[in-house]
A and B are shown apart, each in its own frame.
Chain A
């Protein structure tokens, strides 16, 4: 890997981030605006001894990365809205089976195939609630090519640490954007590998209790036999429909997110400490908000930005802290319904002055668009 500032596209940076984190299996079905991730993996993966598989569709892509991960290989896929919809069922399987893997969703304008080459941030609720049965799902959202790299590494680390799928919620702008970035040397950024079982293989419980809620995960083919099922299972992985068991399994599967919450939920602030006007953002729109805040500061208005690097689980504490202090909170996002604004309102309460700035025609939100809300 080059260690001088190089010009990299967001999609390329996400692929490079995955490889840096140790991913050696990619299965996918190319779709705009994520295709360059598949392209990059098809070029680089075989050279690293990894596997690139082009699948017949996104249902199979998701199934393939689950299988590869259960065989012990860090695996991922990339897609956009239409493909992400097809992945939901197997994404639920990955959550139920506690299979570490990463799904990159480069959001484009919908509904359906919509504006295929234009950006959106409209999959945020689908990421959170797109599958049947309630569950937690981590989503990280990059605002620059540098973050495309670093957050993909982070996505793998969280996936491995928590035995869970993680979504990188990018958008078309950042995915197709090129910026100068410095790729870190191997070892410079921490890479976490899943905890493997030790001790007597006969006593191994792939879904047993664990201090942080995350039991060690075996690999298919090893001495530690692991049975993975989409149906409710006991600590040994085999079918168990007893209510006490179900209560314990669901509680543990959720408790691991609570246990590791501080490592998962990341935000970044720009002059938010004394902000009367606070912009709450995620993804590329963060940049327009920062420019708008700077303009407001120049005219004497104390404005700042709270960037949600982690979109899910929602950063309630930070929104309450900085949003509670501000007189006005503005949530700019590229969707019609104000998917993030609703969450912000939920935290700040009905009396708070929470304003929306939305774009749903594939056009980028500009600092001027945001300033109009003030």
Chain B
């Protein structure tokens, strides 16, 4: 059995879900895995559905799209509507409670990514808070690996801001898991 993970990150244009997917993919290849990231977005730079799929596999990735997600991140009500049902199929569905109404159910886990980013001083960090949470909650990649990728990509002061956001998300996931 080879290690394979299928991840969907969905939100609206401008939230940065595509970048989160790229960071995830970069971290995965540093671990020696094969990666495919595909994207889907509309014609506007803000608003509209924006979505990215990341497949991580030790084997060759033949079909490039996600068919059975292991993890879904929903950053908007529209994304949640589209992917909520995947929880019943076994996918871990993470969602932003700042923007999506809270709900109970197996495999559903909410956290205020956007509120947390605002408290950190920049709403634009919500995607990185969510990325930290996703890694902590799913265990797909280590926090250290993502920290390395962020440190490589960003220069100061954005490096520190993004690292802080990632850690706050990862810490929140660790706390949430400890409570279960």
Contacts and interface: CB of A to CB of B under 8 A. Distances in A.
A7 B25 contact: yes
A116 interface: yes
Shortest beta-carbon contacts, A-B, top 7: A291-B63, A178-B37, A180-B29, A291-B62, A290-B62, A7-B26, A176-B39
15 contacts: A5-B29, A6-B29, A7-B35, A7-B37, A117-B43, A173-B38, A176-B38, A177-B36, A177-B37, A177-B38, A178-B35, A284-B64, A290-B62, A291-B63, A366-B63
Interface in A345-374: 364, 366-367
A89 interface: no
A236 interface: no
Contacts of B43: 32, 116-117
Interface string B31-48: 001111111111100000
Contact of A364 (B25, B26, B36, B65): B65
A117 B38 contact: no
B135 to A, nearest CB: 17
A5 B33 CA distance: 10
A287 B41 CA distance: 21
Contacts of A294: 62
A287 B63 contact: yes
Q: Is the interface of A mostly helix, strand, loop or mixed?
A: mixed
B22 interface: yes
B65 to A, nearest CB: 6
Interface of B: 22, 25-26, 29, 33-43, 61-65, 67
Interface string A266-301: 000000000000000000100110110010000000
Contacts of B40: 117
A179 interface: yes
Contacts of B61: 179
A133 to B, nearest CB: 35
Nearest to A288: B63
A288 B61 CA distance: 11
A173 B36 contact: no
Interface of A: 5-7, 32, 116-117, 173, 176-180, 284, 287-288, 290-291, 294, 364, 366-367
Contacts of A290: 62-63
B63 A7 contact: no
A173 B26 CA distance: 19
Given A7-B26, A176-B39, A287 B62 contact: yes
Given A7-B29, A178-B22, A367 B37 contact: no
A178 B39 CA distance: 9
Nearest to A284: B64
A336 to B, nearest CB: 21
B63 A180 contact: no
Contacts of A287: 62-64
For B34, B42, B65, which residue has the most chain A Cβ atoms within 10 angstroms?
B65
B45 to A, nearest CB: 11
A7 B22 contact: yes
Contacts of B26: 7
Contacts of B29: 5-7, 180
A32 B25 CA distance: 23
B22 A177 contact: no
Contacts of B33: 180
Contacts of B41: 117
Given A6-B29, A7-B29, A367 B63 contact: yes
B62 A180 contact: no
B51 to A, nearest CB: 12
Contacts of A364: 65
Nearest to B48: A117
B65 A178 contact: no
Contacts of B35: 7, 178-180
Contacts of B62: 287, 290-291, 294
Given A7-B35, A176-B39, 17 more contacts: A6-B29, A7-B22, A32-B43, A116-B43, A117-B42, A117-B43, A173-B38, A176-B38, A177-B37, A179-B36, A179-B37, A180-B33, A287-B62, A290-B63, A291-B63, A294-B62, A366-B65
B21 to A, nearest CB: 8
A367 B161 CA distance: 42
For B29, B43, B64, B67, which residue has the most chain A Cβ atoms within 10 angstroms?
B64
Nearest to A181: B29
